[in-house]
Amino acid sequence: MLLAREIAENAPLAVQSTRATMRMGILDSVRAHLAHELSEQTRLRQTEDHREGLRAVTERRPGQFTGR
C-alpha cells in the first residue's frame, strides 16, 4: 500500500507512460524501449504537469498535478 500511495502521488501522465513502457514486455528489443521512452519524454515535457513539477521542485513543495 505504501508503494501504491507513493506512485499515486506522482504526475498521472508520467505514471501512465511508465506503465505503457513496462507493458511492452521484456522480450522486445532495448532499442524499441529507448525509442518509446524518448518519444514519451519529448511529449511529456510539453505538458502542464511537467511545468508544475519543475515549479514544485524549485519551490520545495508537493506537486499539484492535473493530468494535463
**29-41 pLDDT tens trace:** 778 888 999 999 9
Q: Report CA-CA distances (Å) from 26 to 32, 54, 60.
A: 11, 31, 36
Q: Report pLDDT digits (tens) over 39-52.
A: 999 999 999 999 99
* Cβ-Cβ contacts under 8 Å for 52 (sequence gap 6 or more): 11, 63, 64, 65, 66
Q: State the pLDDT at residue 28.
A: 67
* 3-state class (DSSP) for residue 5: helix
Phi-psi region of 60 (alpha: psi -120 to 50; beta: other; left: phi over 0): left
